[in-house]
Structure 1
Amino acid sequence: MEKAQTSSRLDLAREVLQTEADAILALSRRLNGDFLRAVEAILACTGRIVVTGMGKSGHVGRKIAATLASTGSPAFFVHPAEAAHGDLGMITAQDVVIALSNSGESGEVVALLPALKRKGLVLIAMTGNPASSLGREADILLDTQVEKEACPLGLAPTTSTTVQIALGDALAVTLLDARQFGPEDFALSHPGGSLGRRLLVHVKDLMHSGDELPRVLPGTPLKDALLEMSHQRLGMVAIATADNTIKGIYTDGDLRRTLERSGNIYDLIIDQVMSPAPQTILHSKLATEAVHLMEQRRITSLLVIDADGKLAGAIHMHDLLKAGVV
Structure 2
Amino acid sequence: MKDTDFCRLGRAVLETEAAAITALLPRVDHDFATACRLLLDCQGRVVVIGMGKSGHVAGKLAATLASTGTPAFFVHPGEASHGDLGMITPGDVVIALSNSGETEEINQLLPLIKRLGNALVAITGNPDSTLAATASVHLNVAVDREACPLGLAPTASTTASLAMGDALAIALLDARGFTSEDFARSHPGGRLGRRLLLRIADLMHADDTTPRVSPDTPLAGALLEMTRKGLGMTAVCNAEGEVIGIFTDGDLRRALDEGIDVHETPIEAVMTPNPRLATQDQLAAEALALMERHSINALLVTDTHGRLTGALNMHDLLRAGVM
TM-score by length of 2: 0.97
Q: Could you tell me which residue of structure 1 aligns to residue 300 of structure 2?
A: 303
Q: Could you tell me which residue of structure 2 aligns to residue 82 of structure 1?
A: 79
* Percent identity over paired residues: 58
Moved more, 116-125 or 263-272: 263-272
Output one character per residue of 1:196-224: Cα deviation in whole Å (capped at 9) or x when no partner. Answer: 11111111111111110011122112211
Query: Which amino acid counterpart does residue 302 of structure 2 have in structure 1?
Result: I
Query: Which amino acid counterpart does residue 172 of structure 1 have in structure 2?
Result: A
Contact persistence 2:54–2:98 (CA under 8 A): yes
Q: 1:148 aligns with which of 141, 145, 148?
A: 145
Q: Distance in 2 between matches of 1:203 and 1:230?
A: 23
Q: Could you tell me which residue of structure 2 aligns to residue 33 of structure 1?
A: 30
Q: Distance in 2 between matches of 1:182 and 1:274?
A: 41
Output one character per residue of 1:100-119: Cα deviation in whole Å (capped at 9) or x when no partner. Answer: 11111111000000100000
Q: Could you tell me which residue of structure 1 aligns to residue 259 of structure 2?
A: 262
Q: Could you tell me which residue of structure 2 aligns to residue 24 of structure 1?
A: 21
Report how far residue 308 of structure 1 moved.
2.4
Query: Which amino acid counterpart does residue 271 of structure 2 have in structure 1?
Result: M
Q: Could you tell me which residue of structure 2 aligns to residue 288 of structure 1?
A: 285
Q: Could you tell me which residue of structure 1 aligns to residue 120 of structure 2?
A: 123
Q: CA RMSD in A?
A: 1.2
Report how far residue 126 of structure 1 moved.
0.6
Query: Which amino acid counterpart does residue 20 of structure 1 have in structure 2?
Result: E
TM-score by length of 1: 0.96
Q: 2:189 aligns with which of 192, 199, 209?
A: 192
Q: Could you tell me which residue of structure 1 aligns to residue 210 of structure 2?
A: 213
* SS in structure 1 of the partner of residue 85 of structure 2: helix
* SS in structure 2 of the partner of residue 130 of structure 1: coil
Q: Could you tell me which residue of structure 2 aligns to residue 233 of structure 1?
A: 230
Query: Which amino acid counterpart does residue 150 of structure 1 have in structure 2?
Result: A
Report how far residue 263 of structure 1 moved.
4.4
Report how far residue 8 of structure 1 moved.
3.4
Q: Distance in 2 between matches of 1:308 and 1:46?
A: 47
Q: Distance in 1 between matches of 2:12 and 2:284?
A: 46
Contact persistence 2:218–2:262 (CA under 8 A): no
- Tell me, which stretches of 5 or more residues in structure 1 are unaligned? none
Query: Which amino acid counterpart does residue 26 of structure 2 have in structure 1?
Result: R
Report how far residue 305 of structure 1 moved.
0.8
Query: Which amino acid counterpart does residue 317 of structure 2 have in structure 1?
Result: L
Matched, 1:163 2:160: yes
Count of aligned pairs: 323
User: What are the residue-to-residue correspondences of 1:59-138 with 2, within 5 Å?
Assistant: 59-138=56-135
Q: Distance in 1 between matches of 2:299 and 2:153?
A: 58
* SS in structure 2 of the partner of residue 267 of structure 1: coil
Moved more, 215-224 or 134-143: 215-224
* SS in structure 1 of the partner of residue 171 of structure 2: helix
* SS in structure 2 of the partner of residue 154 of structure 1: coil
Matched, 1:279 2:262: no
Output one character per residue of 1:119-171: Cα deviation in whole Å (capped at 9) or x when no partner. Answer: 00100001111111111110011111111112122111111111000101111
